[in-house]
Amino acid sequence: MHPLLGYVDRWSAKPGESIRLMVSSAGDAPFEARFARIICGDPNPRGPGYREIAMPHPLAGTHPGLDQKTHLGSWARLPLLDLSGCARGLVLCATIWPTTPARGRQAIASWRGAGGAMLSLEIDADGVVARVEDKGGATRVATGKVLVERAWYDVFLAIDPVAGTLSVGQRPREAHPGFADSGSASTALRGAPAPGVGRATIAALAAADPAGKPSHHYNGKVERPCIWTGLGAEDAMAAQRGATPRGTAPGLVACWDFSIGIPTLDVADIGPHGFSGTAENLPTRAMTGSNWSGAEHRWAHAPSEWGAIHFHDDDIGDVGWAPALEFRIPEDWPSGIYAVHLKSANGFDNVPFVVRPADAAPKAKVAILLPTVTYHVYGNFVRPGWGRNNRARALEWGAITHTPDENPELGLSPYNFHSDGSGVSMASMARPMIDKRVNHFEMMDPAEYGSGAYWVNVDSYVVDWLTRKGIPHDVVTDHDLHAEGAALLEPYSLVICCQHPEYHTTEMLDGLEGHLARGGRLMYLGGNGFYWKTVFNKQAPWALEIRRAENGIRTWATEVGESYHAFDGSYGGLWRKIGRPAQKLVGNGFSAQGIYLGFPYTVADAVADPRVAFLREGLEAELRPGAQIGERGFMGGGAAGHELDRWDPRLGSPRHALIVASAVVDHPQFKPVNEDRLGFLWPAPLEDLIRSDMVFFETPAGGAVFSVGSMNFVGALPIDGYDNLLTRMMTNVVRRFIDPAPFAP
């Protein structure tokens, strides 16, 4: 892990509010903190230039360092599990669906008591394993049978104090011809452990130290672990295949029913004693169980068929670092993008955050809406080799060199796969997201002079542009929009969405629609926007969930029967498939994807329409049909590229919209999006699909929308010091959109 890293507990705060900063400094080295307002975050010396304004703060200066670690792997924590009533013997059983059975030792469930007593049910290279430890020594017995990957098994550990034996067994739910995967084994106990009061874990081995983290994390699904006493192993296994037992079932000690509390982090024990616990490090819930019939696909309608949790050895949740600073936002700090810069003898880092205007403060007419939910989803996107490939240029530019592939301790992004091959569906903000920094070199650019910028760095171009043009503006975040909805945007005439607002919650879309419904104006300066649905966890608001249902451009797809979010029970996937396509909101929507390469737009005949006369003010001699704009850019060398959006009335684009410019990309590395394909042929000529449209339309309440339809677009704004034809045209749009004169509906 990088020797100096930090993260904040919230994306934004108002003057007078406080933000907590968590820092890990290797070797407990002291670190320096300073604060800055970011005008442009791009480190490219040939670009617009990194620009910041130092912001004095009482907490600027040197602070004690603390070396803090992360822990990967999910599990269920059971702080109390009393086995004192198991003097007649004990059977621990569970139903499992292992995904890496050949990887080595993995604990399905474990218990630790006083005096070093421990028992665990595990899988290992020699099948299902039962292990018991106490002062008399350790006893281990294995079935010696193979476990088939991604197949359901009932497994058990049994202690018979009368016979003095420890037994283990596995029974597949379905036959697997050619695999000897059913069996059991017994061995003599070296001692007779006296079960008592202790603590337990599911899907990991509990640490000997109660304050320690568990180990030997399990990969795969676990369903309905149960503990019985006074019952034989085969009877317990028969019960495991039957209906969920109730607390009054004879001999039942505990039964953890994962179909209860699916939207939460709670793990419910429906047995007689209520040995409940919590899910740690965001395992995935609402997973189909061994009893899923396929008759119902929405877990909320039949939760008993989604009684499994999928645990992973590389899950991550709240890393739980102790705060290093809690800094209050001074009353005189204007709204904007900020960063706290950290430096120690071992390294440096910066952590961005946003200052919103105070409630009672006058608001600007323009709000820049930073796509922090998309930042959140893409946080720590591991791309192997990027650190090695990017380092030389990052050092040459004096930029931050952090890359997720060189910091695996910080976990993954929903653009990655877990170690067991399943897609990552959870995203945590309660950890350092080292690829969301200012002055950060992000990727190699195919343009010789290009920045390869992304995320907050490229979105800061919008701040830089408006600042240079003298247009007052505030900055707010997606997280604010999710929390406050349309009320957040009510003070503003114009809301500007940035380069890549890809992920939205229902509340966020409602907020934007509410803004337009009251006559607000909206500029969408990106591509691939308003594409995927995501949901927050109400119990842990730092956690987001993605379900990639049906189709779309994606790195992985949800498993059959698992397309509904655990966090709220809603259907996941593309907003287009949920009835809220981007075309309906902003006039264009995702059409094609390609490499990080940009091309110019060609101005269309519609630019001469009187409805968009404001575009041409002062530009009449240049902004004519057939002219090219955006032919240069600091993202891929041109304004139209990487991910493109098009106008399409069949998908909801307003039919009265004007397409004022378009870019048809004829390049072998650009392809239409998956969701447009019905058979092996595309439904239209490629020039109709691999296209970016610049769209304008008025709304019924007197507002208007202007969308550019390209992820590379904002990289063209800074060309020639923000004094090129495209940027002058866009400045005209801003000035008209903050003019209170209503647009004709």
Query: What pLDDT is stored for residue 192 in this prediction?
Result: 64
Q: Quick check: 704 and 698 in contact, CB under 8 A?
A: yes
The 10s digit of each residue's pLDDT in 77-122 is 999 999 999 988 999 999 999 999 999 999 999 999 988 899 999 9
Write the burial class of residue 438 (CB in 10 Å: 0-12 exposed, 13-18 middle, 19+ buried).
buried
Distances (CA, A) of 588 to 390, 509, 531, 592, 657: 34, 15, 11, 12, 10
Instruction: Kindly state whether residues 528 and 662 are assigned to the same domain.
Output: yes
Instruction: Kindly state whether residues 256 and 390 are assigned to the same domain.
Output: no
Instruction: Kindly state whether residues 50 and 86 are assigned to the same domain.
Output: no
State the pLDDT confidence band at 190, using cuts at 50, 70 and 90. Answer: confident
- The length of the chain is 745
What are the E-state strand segments in 288-347?
308-311, 323-328, 336-344
Structure-token pair, residue 436: 């969301």
pLDDT beyond 80 at 191: no
Buried b (16+ CB within 10 A) or exposed e, 389-408: ebeebbeebebbbbbbbbbe
State the pLDDT confidence band at 686, using cuts at 50, 70 and 90. Answer: confident
Q: What is the separation of C-alpha 544 from the centre of its chain, rounded to a whole number of angstroms?
A: 6
19 lies in a domain? yes
742 lies in a domain? no
179 lies in a domain? yes
Query: What pLDDT is stored for residue 682 in this prediction?
Result: 87
117 lies in a domain? yes
Q: Quick check: 169 and 183 in contact, CB under 8 A?
A: yes
Residue among 243, 192, 464 at smallest CA distance from 337? 464
Alpha carbon distance 444, 636 (integer Å): 9
Mean pLDDT of 420-449: 96
Q: Quick check: 408 and 312 in contact, CB under 8 A?
A: no
Residue 477, phi then psi, degrees to nearest 5 = -125, 160
Residue among 730, 41, 53 at smallest CA distance from 451? 41
Taking all residues of the chain, what is their mean pLDDT, rounded to a whole number?
A: 96
The 8-class DSSP code of residue 27 comes to: G
Distances (CA, A) of 114 to 103, 117, 208, 546: 31, 6, 10, 41
Q: Would you put residue 168 in left (φ > 0), alpha (ψ -120 to 50) or beta?
A: beta
Instruction: Kindly state whether residues 348 and 369 are assigned to the same domain.
Output: no
The 10s digit of each residue's pLDDT in 316-332 is 999 999 999 999 999 99
Structure-token pair, residue 229: 């006493």
- Residues near 348 by Cβ (< 8 Å), separated by ≥ 6? 4, 341, 342, 400
42 lies in a domain? yes
pLDDT beyond 70 at 76: yes
Q: Quick check: 216 and 203 in contact, CB under 8 A?
A: no
Q: Quick check: 460 and 352 in contact, CB under 8 A?
A: no
Q: What is the separation of C-alpha 175 from the centre of its chain, rounded to a whole number of angstroms?
A: 38
Distances (CA, A) of 665 to 31, 603, 669: 49, 15, 10
The 10s digit of each residue's pLDDT in 456-478 is 999 999 999 999 999 999 999 99
Which pTM value belongs to this model?
0.97
pLDDT beyond 90 at 309: yes
Instruction: Kindly state whether residues 50 and 158 are assigned to the same domain.
Output: no
Q: Quick check: 31 and 342 in contact, CB under 8 A?
A: yes
Q: What is the CATH number of the domain that holds 54?
A: 2.60.40
Write the burial class of residue 326 (CB in 10 Å: 0-12 exposed, 13-18 middle, 19+ buried).
exposed
Query: What pLDDT is stored for residue 136 in this prediction?
Result: 75
Q: Please tell me whether residue 640 adopts helix, strand or coil conformation.
A: strand
- Residues near 5 by Cβ (< 8 Å), separated by ≥ 6? 23, 24, 349, 402, 407, 410, 432, 434
For residues 574, 575, 577, 580, the Cα torsion angle rounded to the nearest 10 degrees is -170
140 lies in a domain? yes
Instruction: Kindly state whether residues 64 and 100 are assigned to the same domain.
Output: no
Instruction: Kindly state whether residues 252 and 330 are assigned to the same domain.
Output: no
Looking at the chain, the whole-number percentage of residues with pLDDT higher than 70 is 100
Work out how many domains the chain is built from and give that number: 3
Containing domain of residue 264, as a range?
Answer: 75-311
745 lies in a domain? no
The 10s digit of each residue's pLDDT in 378-387 is 999 999 999 9
Alpha carbon distance 53, 274 (integer Å): 56
The 10s digit of each residue's pLDDT in 702-726 is 999 999 999 999 999 999 999 999 9
Q: Please tell me whether residue 244 adopts helix, strand or coil conformation.
A: coil
Say which range, 193-197, 239-243, 642-646, has the weakest mean pLDDT: 193-197
Residue among 220, 561, 544, 234 at smallest CA distance from 414? 544
Alpha carbon distance 289, 304 (integer Å): 8
Residue 123, phi then psi, degrees to nearest 5 = -120, 150
Structure-token pair, residue 58: 């009482």
The 8-class DSSP code of residue 251 comes to: T
Instruction: Kindly state whether residues 131 and 180 are assigned to the same domain.
Output: yes
The 10s digit of each residue's pLDDT in 615-669 is 999 999 999 999 999 999 999 999 999 999 999 999 999 999 999 999 999 999 9
Instruction: Kindly state whether residues 178 and 33 are assigned to the same domain.
Output: no
Instruction: Kindly state whether residues 115 and 49 are assigned to the same domain.
Output: no
743 lies in a domain? no
Residue among 192, 133, 116 at smallest CA distance from 160? 192
State the pLDDT confidence band at 145, using cuts at 50, 70 and 90. Answer: very high
Alpha carbon distance 455, 268 (integer Å): 40
Instruction: Kindly state whether residues 41 and 177 are assigned to the same domain.
Output: no
The 10s digit of each residue's pLDDT in 493-526 is 999 999 999 999 999 999 999 999 999 999 999 9
Q: What is the CATH number of the domain that holds 194?
A: 2.60.120.200
Alpha carbon distance 229, 551 (integer Å): 48
Alpha carbon distance 673, 591 (integer Å): 6
Q: Please tell me whether residue 6 adopts helix, strand or coil conformation.
A: strand
Instruction: Kindly state whether residues 643 and 699 are assigned to the same domain.
Output: yes
Looking at the chain, the whole-number percentage of residues with pLDDT higher than 90 is 96
Mean pLDDT of 556-581: 97
Q: Please tell me whether residue 389 adopts helix, strand or coil conformation.
A: helix
